Structure 1
């Protein structure tokens, strides 16, 4: 007895299936890479906003210490990573309100309000949003 198995054409479908699975895996890895890249860019922008905010509030505090505030003071500070637009108002004799907008070079914005005691140079209230 001689049995013949018909195995012609077995390798082609198997090879096609492996090529399809490999392409699917490669495509998914490329998509994950793109998503991670966007995430890192977003994280960098948030860090730029935080540092811009910290540098800006210190410079605004220096401006407040150097000038006498009788009325509303409006200004703009420029930095290599962005700019800050601010307004300073005198609320009480030794308390001021600082309202500002931080804008990075990639047009990411963050608003902030700070109530500052001029005598102690401490922030009484801070609101971001």
Structure 2
């Protein structure tokens, strides 16, 4: 149980309580309506901004749709000069290049690559043997006839 001293602090009548609730409710409704007005104002500002943005974009497109960029004609004289000098250098290099190879058929008894005495001995005996065979053939040919 509550004592006499504590009772006055907690003794609030129902009417006062309802008044406070209604007052608080009215304040909330005022606050909510004010917030709604602010939101509506912001929505109008945003809509106005969108319309302005669309107008700016349309004017930008209208301004820059007619712009034509014309590039200057390139100066190719340096390129042509470089190509001409390079072609001249290539032609000179081709003229200085190797000449066509001529084919020669040569029969050498003593080739240049072989310089050994054994090779010369074999060749001398080979030639003497060939001459001897020719002589034998001629003699036999006379005897047979």
TM range (shorter): 0.3 to 0.5
Q: TM-score, normalised by structure 1?
A: 0.41
- Structure number with the higher strand fraction is 1
Q: TM-score, normalised by structure 2?
A: 0.37
For the pair shown, the structure with the greater C-alpha radius of gyration is 2
- Structure number with the higher helix fraction is 2
